[in-house]
A and B are shown apart, each in its own frame.
Chain A
Amino acid sequence: MQERASDADPLGLYGVSLASRLIIGTAQYPSPAILAEAIRAARAEIVTVSLRRESGASRAGEKFWALIRDLGVRVLPNTAGCRTVKEAVTTAQMAREVFNTSWIKLEVIGEEDTLQPDVFGLVEAAAILSRDGFQVFPYTTEDLVVAEKLLRAGCDVLMPWGAPIGTARGLNNPYALRALRAHFPQTPLIVDAGLGAPSHAAAAMELGFDGILLNTAIAKAGDPVAMARAFALGVEAGRVGYRAVPMQPRDMAAPSTPVIGTPFSDLARA
């Protein structure tokens, strides 16, 4: 039987099969309860988490970790805030122990205003971590050459930015994202960061991207739970639309209603 666009369409990441193509961050929500509700509304199976300095008696980390564990989702720890290879590698090693996962969202930030990845450090850190048994999800730019080097370094997934983190600008460079998709047809590609509206997520999925990772657009929405659902719908609409193969744009109008049999069509028009 022919495969249909509406058939089951799991996402495979490092051998893990997932029904959801929306990965969401856990930061900046108005409350832990709203965070939990938003994760459910997004139907997310993966959430991103981080490590931060703990003060002795506060036990803040334990409370947050208990909340996430109770939701039964898979976690993708990040190296957010790291600015050198050494910081990123050590943070990843600490994350693997605390979260008991070899998955790591690798961030090596190179510039403060744009939070642009330091792609040179990123490739170096990705190679070190891959050799050490990590399964690396690199937060990268849309650069094709960097993408190639990350794959050679051992990454099986790429996560190019849509726009700088937290800007809600959507897809800054659709041309380059389309080129990335065409160049790496078999590699899971996830647009990570910079999205603001569900239509941005749908647009990325319509380009053929395999998933979306975002945080701020949901957490900072007027109603984060409703926005989580809206993004889930946007991701699904974009994905099904991509698989259904959209028609190509054309310059001239073409009537959708049949022309044959149009009333009065034999009358001369002024």
Chain B
Amino acid sequence: MRIEVNGKRLEVAAETLAALLDELEYDERHVATALNQAFVRKVDRDAARLKDDDRVEIVSPRQGG
């Protein structure tokens, strides 16, 4: 399916958020996720099913002011 990950359109095979992190080679322990602007907890990623045109944010710690 085609979804948007961090602002980029991607064709992915993953059907859940957890599978998406695996497919894109993220270390799931060190990132936080949102699906269509709603926070998805680590423990809920397996159950978070993806569909066409979903927008996923995957973030990690950075410098900040």
Contacts and interface: CB of A to CB of B under 8 A. Distances in A.
Interface stretch (A44-52, A173-181, A196-204, A255-263): A44-52
Interface string A32-73: 000100000000000011111111110111101100100000
Interface string A78-118: 10100000110010011101110000000000000000000
A90 B30 CA distance: 17
B64 A80 contact: yes
A90 to B, nearest CB: 5
A26 B59 contact: no
User: How many of chain B's residues touch chain A, expressed as a range?
Assistant: 20 to 34
A242 B35 CA distance: 49
Contact of B62 (A35, A49, A56): A49
A165 interface: yes
A27 B39 contact: no
Interface residues of A, number: 39
Given A97-B32, A97-B41, A54 B65 contact: no
B32 A94 contact: yes
A99 B64 CA distance: 13
B34 interface: yes
Contacts of A54: 6, 26, 31, 58-60
A52 B37 contact: no
A215 interface: yes
Contact of A56 (B25, B38, B39): B25
B54 interface: no
A62 B30 contact: yes
Given A62-B27, A62-B30, A68 B61 contact: yes
Interface of A: 25-29, 35, 48-57, 59-62, 64-65, 68, 77-78, 80, 86-87, 90, 93-95, 97-99, 165, 193, 215-216
List 5 A-B pairs, minimum CB-CB distance, nearest first: A61-B60, A50-B64, A25-B65, A215-B65, A94-B32
